[in-house]
């Protein structure tokens, strides 16, 4: 069994969406409030019910590490000209995308491994 899992943070989701050519002329925002993650693309709004998310217990150090990666991604987005508002975790961007075919570099993407956890998390989850 592979112990690697990918975690897409809200910052990574925003970074991905702002690179999609078809969305280049749209304002995009990601707003995390309570038990809902709201993604707005132009005039459309999508609510993701976070109550449906599976909870996996990991050491506090892992949570801190993921939060640091997300914070760094938001900082990089801000440096790239994306309007990042910390007060309500809303991020808005509607930039131009010029390449038709590309490999997307997504900031805030996290790979969780057993090594980061300090032990084989898969064995714990299967018990």
Report the chain's mean pLDDT, rounded to a whole number: 74
User: How confident is the model at residue 2, as a pLDDT?
Assistant: 61
Q: Does the pLDDT of residue 96 top 50, yes or no? A: no
- Spatial CA neighbour of 32 closest among 41, 40, 24: 40
pLDDT, tens digit, 9 for 90 and up, residues 43-76 = 999 999 888 888 788 888 888 888 888 888 888 8
What pLDDT does residue 86 have?
Answer: 52
Q: What angle do CA 3, 36, 111 make, to 5 degrees?
A: 20
Question: What is the value of pTM for the model shown?
Answer: 0.67
In the chain, domain spans? 5-126
pLDDT of residue 93: 42
Using the predicted structure, report yes or no on whether residue 25 has a pLDDT greater than 50.
yes
Q: What is the pLDDT of residue 105?
A: 64
**Which of 14-18, 57-61, 75-79, 80-84 is the least confident region?**
80-84
């Amino acid at each position: 069994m592979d112990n690697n899992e990918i975690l897409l943070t809200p910052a990574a989701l925003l970074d991905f969406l702002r690179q999609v050519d078809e969305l280049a002329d749209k304002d995009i925002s990601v707003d995390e409030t309570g038990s809902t993650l709201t993604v707005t693309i132009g005039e459309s709004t999508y609510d993701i019910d976070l109550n449906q998310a599976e909870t996996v217990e990991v050491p506090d150090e892992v949570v801190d590490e993921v939060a640091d990666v997300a914070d760094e991604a938001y900082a990089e987005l801000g440096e790239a000209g994306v309007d990042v508002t910390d007060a309500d975790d809303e991020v808005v961007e509607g930039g131009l995308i010029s390449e038709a075919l590309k490999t997307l570099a997504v900031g805030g993407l996290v790979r969780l491994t057993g090594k980061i956890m300090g032990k084989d998390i898969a064995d714990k989850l299967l018990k």
